[in-house]
């Protein structure tokens, strides 16, 4: 509608609407550039990145534990004694050596 055909009241109403939209836009910009908003956004991004990293680490750890477990336990859940016994003997031997080494240093 051309300006000549509009009444002064319609022009004033249009100006009021534009002012209102401009005020809303300025308020939105002020919120977006406020330091606390920026800091909050950065915190949220950092938390999301950390969550993804922790999630990946947990998946990797779970796969590793599952792989190691499969070396010492059958699919039915029974221990594989042919693999468990040598590891236990080795662990006891290493522990004994550490205790003996600690006692020698203490003298």
DSSP string, 59-104: HHHHHHHHHHHHHHB-TTS-B-HHHHHHHHHHHHHHHHHHHHHHHH
pTM (two decimals):
0.47
The pLDDT of 44-68, averaged and rounded, is 94
CA separation (Å) from 68 to 15, 57, 58? 73, 16, 15
What's the CA angle centered on 53, arms 48 and 54, to 5 degrees?
A: 95
End-to-end alpha carbon distance in the chain: 103
List, for residues 61-103, the tens digit of each pLDDT value.
Answer: 999 999 999 999 988 889 999 989 999 999 999 999 999 888 8
What was the pLDDT predicted at 3? Answer: 58
List, for residues 1-35, the tens digit of each pLDDT value.
Answer: 555 689 999 999 999 999 999 999 999 999 989 99
What was the pLDDT predicted at 92? Answer: 95
What does the CA dihedral 92, 97, 102, 107 come to, rounded to 10 degrees? 130
What was the pLDDT predicted at 60? Answer: 95
pLDDT higher than threshold 60 for residue 42: yes
pLDDT higher than threshold 90 for residue 106: no
Q: What gap in Å lies between CA 91 and CA 81, rounded to an integer?
A: 15
């Amino acid at each position: 509608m051309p300006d000549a055909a509009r009444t002064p009241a319609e022009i004033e109403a249009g100006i009021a609407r534009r002012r209102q939209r401009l005020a809303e836009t300025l308020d939105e910009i002020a919120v977006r550039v406020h330091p606390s908003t920026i800091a909050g956004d950065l915190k949220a991004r950092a938390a999301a990145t950390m969550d993804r990293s922790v999630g990946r680490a947990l998946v990797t750890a779970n796969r590793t534990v599952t792989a190691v477990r499969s070396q010492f336990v059958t699919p039915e859940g029974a221990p594989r004694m042919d693999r468990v016994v040598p590891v236990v003997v080795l662990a006891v031997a290493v522990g004994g050596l550490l205790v003996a080494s600690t006692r020698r240093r203490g003298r």
